[in-house]
Amino acid sequence: MIKVGIIGVGTVGTSVAQILKDNADVISARAGTDIVVKSGVVKNLNKDRGLGIVLTDNVDDILNDSKIDIVVELMGGVDEPFEVVKKALKSGKAVVTANKALLAYHRYELAELAKDIAFEYEASVAGGIPIINALRDGLSANHIESIMGIMNGTCNYMMTKMTNEGVAYDTILKESQELGYAEADPSFDVGGYDAAHKLLILASIAYGIDAKPEDILIEGIENVTQDDIAFAKEFGYAIKLLGIAKKDGNEVELRVHACLIKQEEMIAKIDGVMNGISVIGDKVGETLYYGPGAGGDATASAVVANIIDIARSGKSTPMLGFDKPMEANLTLKPTADIKSKYYLRVNVSDKAGVLAKITKIFEDNNISVETMLQRPSSEDSANLLISTHTAIESDIQNMIKEIEVLDFVNSTPVMIRIV
């Protein structure tokens, strides 16, 4: 019998305990052994969770319990769980976590500590979708060319609603908060940080590349308006917040930002709170994984799958999927060097000569315009909606700086990359 200790019995922790009970028949048949929760750590011992497991408010009660085989870490945060998980691994306990922030900062140290013991983290990326399983095992024969994913359900819900119902960003943000999809402080989701944590984890498995959130391009969806959505629709695009990892020669791009993406692409068809991740391998081509990226039961489904794996075979796969460096010389591409097509929205005073001046600045920066629309935004101002051919990020950034100081430009231009 395998005994589990859960550190952090909140929504996901409760679901983990519940699934191990509810589905004990299939779990025991698949794991080849019974799996039970021996105890759980909570902050507030007075709250009854109705789970019938021993509760404590002391982490050491689990870490020092020699009868516990697997520690499930669901505390949240970075530093404290890192200490807890290190202790667990050092005392020979396998660890399962759903903590993406912990991994975004400490995955390589953890891989080192978990050389001979299982450390699993399927639930840390895209909730119930077994994407880590797919990338680490199912696609292991491939050089990964790119990963492109809707990794944040809150943002996807908001963009879908803005697209389908024409509502404003602020309106849908408020609704998302009321529905519990967005936090009171939504910046972790809408600012792209949550997706970035997940992207870094996947990029390590795909490329063995080390980077922290601070090292990569992270933008959110806060500046997307109905003007942008109308432009997207007119030219056959959807707007999505994507996490993108892409190999280009010996460099890997890692970036999170809103994207215009062609409506025919499978990933553009993923709507609502759902997540979806497209992976292109050099041999297999494109595969895509779709499902719920959050929620107690969906996340716990992935945690319990990891527990079953460990019960079956202990440690069967290196934590990040490789035992020695994979592809020689892969380095992180500097953000300034990224190449992309771009969409820009420039709000200008509606005066003669404006268009000529703007297009001159594009030309001076070697940026070639693909399409341009002008739409009135008030009585005396207009939005210029412009898409470019492939350009270099640094050129675009320089051009935006030149444009935003012009006297007839009313606000900082909004830029969305086209993929």
Footprint of its own copies (CB under 8 A): 15, 19, 22-23, 25-32, 122, 128-130, 133-134, 137-143, 208, 266, 269-270, 281-292, 295, 297-298, 300-305, 307-309, 312-313, 316-318, 321-328
Q: What angle do CA 254, 259, 260 make, to 5 degrees?
A: 145
Alpha helix stretches (DSSP H) within 149-279 = 153-165, 169-179, 187-190, 193-207, 226-234
Nearer to its own copies, 148 or 270 (CB): 270
Enumerate the active-site residues: 198
Place of tokens 């998980």: 85
DSSP assignment of 8-53 equals --SHHHHHHHHHHHHTHHHHHHHHSS-EEEEEEE-S-TTS-----S
Q: What angle do CA 401, 404, 410 make, to 5 degrees?
A: 170
Closest approach of its own copies to the CB of residue 22, in Å: 8
Nearer to its own copies, 264 or 407 (CB): 264
β-bridge partners, 96: 72, 120
Closest approach of its own copies to the CB of residue 305, in Å: 5
Nearer to its own copies, 259 or 298 (CB): 298
> CB neighbours of 372 closer than 8 A, spacing ≥ 6?
384, 385, 386, 387
Q: Among positive and negative, which fits the CA dihedral 240, 245, 247, 253?
A: positive
Strands (DSSP E) along 44-131, which ranges?
A: 54-56, 70-73, 94-97, 119-120
Nearer to its own copies, 154 or 301 (CB): 301
Closest approach of its own copies to the CB of residue 263, in Å: 11
Closest approach of its own copies to the CB of residue 4, in Å: 13
Tokens at 34, concatenated:
């019974």
Nearer to its own copies, 80 or 327 (CB): 327
Closest approach of its own copies to the CB of residue 13, in Å: 14
